[in-house]
Structure 1
């Protein structure tokens, strides 16, 4: 079953793509690599990298709008609250708004790909790397690629399979 396989793959990404350390320099390196890719490939992306107490990197390329930054904010909130990649929420729940009973107001939380927890050994989830601008699965893939590149991992080992339209 494709969905269950994808959920297992995203869980593996979350467990393996752990940064040995995280600070302003790491955030800048990750964010700069994503921005460089966006420029090279003509991708319209907003990139936000943060610890829970502050934003450490932000970039927006041509073709983005304030709406992308708003999507990023809501994805960050979802990662922080549910301690998982926002795309895993899509796979587990579908792209429907949270119910009023959940207490996760759709004005502040969204189920959409592109938010990924930043984990550091011994500290757990300390922030999020989040992008917006592409369809959710592609947003997620850009984040995973950047983390793989930064960690020296083979992208193919962690990538989700292509989905045929």
Structure 2
């Protein structure tokens, strides 16, 4: 596994995992699907889906803390700023040996370039929101999102998953 190969797969994920439409009903269905994936893996996570500036789904499993919601906010800010997954932004910065603060002047108080937030793209429209997850290691946060989105879109997860570390 290399950062470059992961970045290539992350770009593929973002290109393929797009919705025909996305509204509050879609958010509910996707959020519940993500919760089911987490429960099946015995993962303790917090989930947040935002459409524009509106929170349309939020769920925190027993065992999460307010810190999980803070991580979600900071990762969501990265997606809203760059229209990329927070993991892709983080790996890109790592590859360049820089940080959000050094490259863009963005404070870690408000931005976290760590895996776990993914842009919601609607075909022909662009990014309309984000879906975030917090509670696992950053790569695992990211991959759980990708798995749930791929399954929701009826795409084979195996075609878009990151290689094992």
TM-score (structure 2 length as normaliser) = 0.93
1:79 and 1:129 mapped to 2: Cα distance?
9
User: 4+ runs of 1 displaced by more than 4 Å?
Assistant: none
Match of 1:9 in 2: 9
> How many pairs does the alignment contain?
163
Question: How far is 1:148 from its partner?
Answer: 0.5
> Which of 104, 114, 129 is the matching residue for 1:127?
129
Higher relative contact order, chain-length normalized (CA < 8 Å, sep 6+): 2
Correspondence for 1:83: 83
Inter-partner Cα distance in structure 1 for 2:110 and 2:151: 31
In structure 1, the partner of 2:38 is: 38
| Coordinate RMSD, CA, aligned | 1.6
Equivalent residue, structure 2, for 1:55: 55
Gaps of 5+ in 2: none
Using the alignment, how far apart are the partners of 1:75 and 1:62 within structure 2?
21
| Stretch moving more, 99-108 or 61-70 | 99-108
Distance in structure 1 (CA, Å) of the matches to 2:110 and 2:27: 24
Unpaired segments of 5 or more residues in structure 1?
Answer: none
CA contact (8 A) 2:76 2:132 kept: yes
How far 1:39 sits from its partner (Å)?
2.1
Give the equivalent residue in structure 2 for 1:105: 107
